[in-house]
Amino acid sequence: MPVVRISGHGGVHALAVAREYGVPTMFTLSGGHVFPLYDAAVKGDGEAGGGQPMRLVDVRHEQTAVFAAEATARLTRTPGLAVVTAGPGVTNSVSAVTTAWLNGSPMVVLGGRAPDYRWGAGSLQEIDHPPLLAPVTKRAWTEHETANLARSVDAAFRLAMTPHRGPVFLDISLEAIYGQAEAELPAAGLPAAGLPPAGPPDPEDVSRIAALLRAARRPVLVLGSDVWLGNAEYAARQAAEELRLPVIANGQARGVLPAGHDLLATRARSLALREADLVIVAGTPLDFRLGYGSFGPENAPAQVVHVADAPGGIATHRPLAACAAGDLAAFFTDLVAQAGAPGRAPTGAAEDWLPQLAGAVRAAHAMDAPLLTSDAEPVHPARIYGELLTVLDDDAVVIGDGGDFVSFAGKYIEPARPGGWLDPGPFGCLGTGLGYAIAARLARPAAQVVLLLGDGAAGFSLMDADTLVRHRLPVVIVCGNNGAWGLEKHPMRALYGYDVLADLQPGCRYDEVVRALGGAGEIVTSPGEIAPALRRAFAANCPYLVNVVTDPEIAYPRSTTGV
Ligand SMILES: Cc1ncc(C[n+]2csc(CCOP(=O)(O)OP(=O)(O)O)c2C)c(N)n1
Ligand SMILES: [Mg+2]
């Protein structure tokens, strides 16, 4: 491989490497500490192999930049890049970096940093960032030398992409980023199409799981986001189909089996996890979303198998019947090889198990129907989903940012394909919405992008509708406007018999906010107006907020608190 020399300021060095990793876009908010990165993005890095200019998307709050980089990673499975200026630029990004950390999203955050030569004298925004970021990143450190920067940025991307994936933070001192140097591009093995996958899991671990599966009467397979991030969606589907396993899909694995698939048991989730005797969880932690990994009847708890893309991801807080760590696609392929038998369903599953779950799925859908078509006024939030379901394309990207309104979405929207559903994940951070929407429009230029936004959630990022407008990124935003922090209001009432601090302005014109910023929108107060408003929103080809005033008394029927 020819050696490529990089010559120029630190920005040229950093971006030469980012390009090698296939980074399509830099998300940022301006600050003098990081100008050289912009300069390199605008000019390309001619001397280092003729790099092309990189797309720059400038936002209105650093957390939006980091959320956008995270969503880019989750949608494209190439690493995201956010650049934030020193001090408040970095501190403003912490919640979004933490979201990426808990989601295992591969991304690099490059920060500016006050100059080394004055360190301790109190220059503008002088603060040591890595200790703030270390607990929520795979690694956080500082580069002080221009000549080392390419190597450090290479290490950052490589680490971010190595399973278990996650965010990496690197700040660059003012001298290092503005300084000039020559260096070699660390070319060894830089693959535009991603790093080679993790090694396969130990075949003996898979063999133990296959044995458990053969003996199980009521097995369930739970799939999580790493199945998608690890390119294991086809292998997972094949395993479910070959082994006739009912599947519950979470996060970005929703859609691995499309809505209506006979093995998709997500809507029968409580029954499936309550009655199971074996639960195999792959690609997601055994956290509060999965009852911390306790399944099955109380008097006969299910055996639990945890499969993760790296050994550190295997749960330690509960006993496991077996576990396996490694490339998830290899795991599913090996599981079929070891548990399957040509021409017949290989498990010892009870004959009535799948029909029982399919019956529960049918019953759940039948229960939905009256709410999805509800004519109630004020609007029942479910009616919004009844209308959306009729217009969503198979490749739509659906983003949820909010409380109860998004829980309803999780229940009613069953994606047709994996990778297109973006919820905030286990950190549960409000404010992901606009950043995720910006990234989704760029990652999937021809697909519908729908942001489901609580009116409370809107307050965290709606100003970035301005970013959608400036960068000409059409997105349909549906605001479920119940005039309340609904997910707090109803639980507080249940606890104390009253609620406080849970009300927002009733009927607030969030649509006018988007109009004022140069987009479009309208308010909807009756159920019959929802469908025509959605049609206008999808046809508008600009950022469009449909502000649906919903009934504040409707609470999502919640069975867990997350605690
Ligand atoms: C950054 C952040 N602050 C506070 C919370 C706590 N919280 C969770 S849901 C919720 C209410 C969300 O209200 P809204 O977006 O209007 O959705 P609704 O529940 O009303 O449908 C709040 C305040 C949080 N998850 N994240
Ligand atoms: Mg609300």
Domains of the chain, by residue range, sit at 5-184, 203-358, 373-549
Dump pLDDT digits (tens) for 298-354. 999 999 999 999 999 999 999 999 999 999 999 999 999 999 865 555 668 889 999
Distance 479 CA to ligand 1 centre (A): 13
Tell me which fold the domain 203-358 belongs to.
Answer: Rossmann fold (3.40.50)
Q: Is 248 exposed, middle or buried (0-12, 13-18, 19+ CB in 10 A)?
A: buried
> Do 514 and 545 contact (CB within 8 A), yes or no?
yes
The token pair at 517 is 């910023």
Query: Quick one: pLDDT at residue 187?
Result: 67
Using most ligand atoms within 8 A of CB, pick from 430, 455, 563 the residue to mutate for ligand 1: 430
Q: What is the pLDDT of residues 285-296, one digit of tens each?
A: 999 999 999 999
Q: How far is the CA of 416 from the centre of ligand 2 (A)?
A: 27
Q: What is the pLDDT of residue 44?
A: 83
- State the pLDDT at residue 342: 58
Please report, for residues 208, 235, 305, 398, 399, the alpha-carbon distance to residue 338 in angstroms, rounded to integers and kept in the order given.
Answer: 10, 14, 16, 36, 38
Closest by CA to 506, choosing from 378, 371, 375, 374, is 378
- Asked whether this chain's domains 5-184 and 373-549 adopt the same fold, the reply is yes
Nearest 5°: the CA angle 343, 346, 351 is 105
Going from the Cα of 441 to the center of ligand 1, the distance in angstroms, rounded, reads 24
pLDDT at position 504, please? Answer: 98
Please, what sign has the CA dihedral across residues 456, 453, 361, 280? negative
Tokens of 116: 């080394």
5-184 in CATH: which number?
3.40.50.970
Please work out, in degrees rounded to the nearest 5, the angle formed at the alpha carbon of residue 517 by the alpha carbons of 513 and 522: 45
User: Could you please report the per-residue DSSP string of 348-399?
Assistant: ---TTHHHHHHHHHHHHHHHHHHHHT---SSBPHHHHHHHHHHH--TT-EEE
Residue 262 in tokens: 């006979």
Q: Which pLDDT belongs to residue 258?
A: 96
Predicted local confidence at residue 348, as pLDDT? 80
Query: What's domain 373-549's superfamily in CATH?
Result: Thiamin diphosphate (ThDP)-binding fold, Pyr/PP domains (3.40.50.970)
pLDDT of res. 198:
82
Tell me which residues have their CB closer than 6 angstroms to ligand 1. Answer: 402-405, 428-431, 454-457, 480, 482, 484-488
- Please choose from 98, 482, 488 the residue to mutate so as to test ligand 1's pocket, defined by most ligand atoms within 8 A of CB: 488
Residues of the chain with pLDDT under 50: 49, 189
What separation in Å is there between the alpha carbon of 209 and the centre of ligand 1? 39
Q: What is the pLDDT of residue 349?
A: 86
Question: What is residue 563's predicted lDDT score, i.e. its pLDDT?
Answer: 73
Residues in the chain: 563
